[in-house]
Amino acid sequence: MKKLLSAIALVLAAGSAQAVTVDFEDIAPDNGHKHYQNDYLHTGTFRFFTPDAYVIDSAFAEPRPYTTQNGSDWLMSLSTQPMILHSASPFSIQSLDAGSFTDLSVLVRVVGYLSNGDILDKKVFWAKPGFGTFDLGWTGLSSLFIYTKFGTASFDNFVLNEQEAQAGQYAEAAAVSAVPLPAAMPLLMGGLAAMGFVARRRKRKAD
């Protein structure tokens, strides 16, 4: 029985360790945009505080075609104040996509903070016209501060993983890609069924 419980715990841990991709789909109206100013953008159990930003529909092309279109909806930050990503429980970030709105590169500085307020790390990179992927590989975060200097930057595809997620926390308009069913999930279901069978047999013997 102890071995069975240990196996189930490992399956659950494996399932919770899967990453999700925040990609800002289904927020902006078709062929339009949605403005956030000093407001929270909720994405399941994650949320962004945006001083001045737009979620842009992939088909939106006014007042001019957006050079950073990458085939999906994305977030454009207009402010030099930090955009803050945080969660109700510790999380990790593998990577994010960033690009410049104009024909010039934009300086982006990303700073990670732990739950005790300590700075985990910081990285600086140049976001070029069109999206590029930037690897971070940070764990144990409580928040992520994203600073944009010398221009307007666009962001998409935050690859995140939340540890000890609190179900329903920050739940609002979904912008998180569906996470595939873990391959070990059938093992979990089988283990639960076995536990029920053993419990019934013990009860019959006791009777």
Q: Is the pLDDT of residue 137 over 90?
A: yes
The pLDDT tens digits of the residues spanning 151-177 come to 788 999 999 987 644 444 443 333 444
Q: What distance in Å separates the CA atoms of residue 192 and residue 8, rounded to the nearest whole number?
A: 8
Q: What distance in Å separates the CA atoms of residue 135 and residue 94, rounded to the nearest whole number?
A: 6
The pLDDT tens digits of the residues spanning 93-127 come to 999 999 887 778 889 999 999 988 899 889 999 99
The pLDDT tens digits of the residues spanning 53-67 come to 999 888 886 655 555
Whole-number CA gyration radius for the chain: 21
Q: Is the bond preceding 63 in cis, omega lying within 30 degrees of 0? A: yes
pTM over 0.95: no
Q: What distance in Å separates the CA atoms of residue 181 and residue 176, rounded to the nearest whole number?
A: 15
